[in-house]
């Protein structure tokens, strides 16, 4: 039964990937896979949860499998083909903010992109180094750095600047400190990419709490209400009284973003071209489109656009922000 469910999931996610992309996919032999597994356990999982039993728990095993195979598979079959449709990745200069343990870095670099990765967590970056080495990817350069500090990099003129599932883990101040210099460091016609950031306006928080309306709550109320989450570990973390360190730690778990941060960071946002990965995928996969319609998500997205009274791009009305903002020539 589990195998059947995985096959159905894969069919739902699968899109037609062009041969020039699939031809570049790199593989690991068994020994290298075991070495990457050890690196993930020692650096990523041990840092994620100090509980020594976590790695062998059902949740821990699922997390390990996701970081070994799942995230790379998703990037190769969705993010990479979408990016390549916007601008060829071969030879493109990319700044990847929040590269994490490096699955997305491998997916980009194996396509011939020149990747500079920024990651705040040195343990994650240790895995990224190991992953790139084991896959035989030589060109990525890494920096231990908060995404809010990218203005310190002595690099500019990127074709892509990608915020890879990281904006939601930044404070509001950090988001502004990252988005504004990112926009300025793009080449003309370059692309600012946001991947897998939950939409603050969406009614359900599928990222952090698995609770309805969670991202609509003020931080202090959300912190106290987190005890009602069904998510193990998260629902035990935050007990009153609430102090500043607790607020900071809570924001790192992941709070949604919305078009508001982007309008304040990119004043010409309403005049530039924006693309949405979710829409791109649904246009190429009838099963994804049917799933979207049956789920009712499209009705909520349409409601968001209607009640806002503003000309908001549909990319800002999805459950997750997966979008590209093109800088004018």
Give the mean model confidence (pLDDT) for residues 81-92. Answer: 97
pLDDT greater than 50 at residue 2: no
Quickly state the pLDDT bin for 46 (edges 50, 70, 90): confident
- Using an 8 Å Cβ cutoff, are 84 and 16 in contact? no
Choose the weakest-confidence range: 113-127, 209-223, 237-251.
Answer: 237-251
- The count of other CB atoms within 10 Å of the CB of residue 253 is 18
**Predicted local distance difference test score (pLDDT) of residue 3:** 45
Does 10 have pLDDT greater than 60? no
As a whole number, mean pLDDT of residues 83-87 equals 97
pLDDT of 45: 84
* Digit-coded pLDDT (tens) for 28-44: 999 999 999 999 999 98
pLDDT score recorded for residue 5: 41
121: domain CATH number? 3.40.50.150
Return the percentage of the chain with pLDDT > 70, whole number: 94
Q: Average pLDDT of 107-125?
A: 96
Residue 15: the pLDDT is: 59
The mean pLDDT value for 233-253 works out to 89
Q: What is the share, in percent, of the chain residues with pLDDT greater than 90? A: 73
Structural domain harbouring 230: 211-255
> Within a domain: residue 140?
yes
Does 220 have pLDDT greater than 80? yes
Residue at 162 is within a domain:
yes
Task: Specify whether 38 is located in the same domain as 187.
Answer: yes
| Domain-located, residue 120 | yes
Instruction: For residues 228-249, give the mean pLDDT.
Output: 89
User: What span, in angstroms and rounded, lies between the C-alpha atoms of 237 and 215?
Assistant: 18
pLDDT given at position 254: 92
**β pairing state of 186-198 and 204-205:** unpaired
Cα–Cα distances (Å) from 102 to 47, 85, 87, 188, in that order, read 16, 22, 22, 27
Q: What is the mean predicted confidence (pLDDT) over 129-138?
A: 94
At residue 60 the predicted structure's pLDDT band, cuts being 50, 70 and 90, is confident
In total, how many domains does the chain have?
2
Has residue 189 got a pLDDT over 80?
A: yes
**Which pLDDT tens digit goes with each residue over 250-273?**
999 999 999 999 999 999 999 999
134 & 275 share domain: yes
For residue 11, is it within any domain? no
Q: Are residues 157 and 250 in the same domain?
A: no
pLDDT of residue 283 exceeding 80, the answer is yes
Same domain, 79 and 143: yes
- Report the number of secondary-structure helices (H) and strands (E) in the chain: 16, 9
Q: How far apart are CA 65 and CA 71, in angstroms?
A: 9
Q: What is the pTM of this model?
A: 0.91
97 and 36 in a common domain? yes
Same domain, 160 and 296: yes
Q: What is the pLDDT of residue 77?
A: 93
Q: Look at residue 14 in the predicted model and tell me its pLDDT.
A: 53
């Amino acid at each position: 039964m589990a195998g059947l469910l995985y096959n159905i999931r894969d069919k739902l996610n699968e899109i037609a990937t062009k041969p020039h992309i699939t031809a570049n996919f790199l593989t690991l032999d068994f020994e290298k896979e075991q070495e990457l597994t050890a690196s993930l356990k020692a650096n990523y999982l041990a840092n994620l949860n100090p509980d020594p039993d976590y790695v062998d728990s059902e949740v821990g095993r699922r997390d390990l499998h996701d970081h070994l195979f799942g995230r790379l598979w998703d990037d190769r079959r969705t993010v990479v083909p979408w990016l390549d449709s916007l601008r060829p990745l071969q030879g493109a200069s990319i700044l990847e903010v929040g590269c994490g343990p490096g699955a997305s870095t491998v997916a980009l670099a194996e396509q011939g992109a020149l990747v500079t990765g920024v990651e705040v967590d040195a343990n994650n970056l240790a895995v990224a180094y190991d992953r790139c080495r084991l896959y035989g990817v030589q060109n990525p350069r890494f920096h231990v750095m908060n995404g809010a500090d990218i203005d310190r990099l002595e690099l500019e003129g990127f074709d892509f600047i990608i915020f890879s599932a990281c904006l939601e883990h930044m404070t509001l101040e950090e988001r502004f400190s990252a988005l504004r210099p990112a926009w300025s460091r793009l080449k003309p016609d370059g692309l600012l990419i946001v991947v897998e950031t939950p939409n603050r306006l969406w009614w359900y928080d599928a990222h952090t709490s698995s609770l309805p309306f969670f991202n609509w709550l003020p931080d202090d109320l959300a912190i106290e209400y987190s005890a009602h989450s069904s998510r193990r570990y998260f629902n035990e973390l935050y007990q009153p009284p609430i102090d500043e360190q607790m607020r900071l730690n809570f924001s790192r778990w992941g709070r949604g973003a919305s078009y508001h941060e982007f309008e304040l960071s990119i004043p010409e946002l309403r005049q530039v071209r924006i693309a949405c990965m979710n829409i791109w995928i649904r246009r190429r996969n009838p099963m994804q489109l049917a799933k979207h319609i049956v789920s009712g998500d499209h009705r909520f997205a349409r409601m968001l656009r209607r009640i806002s009274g503003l000309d908001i791009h549909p990319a800002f009305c999805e459950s997750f922000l997966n979008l590209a903002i093109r800088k004018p020539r």
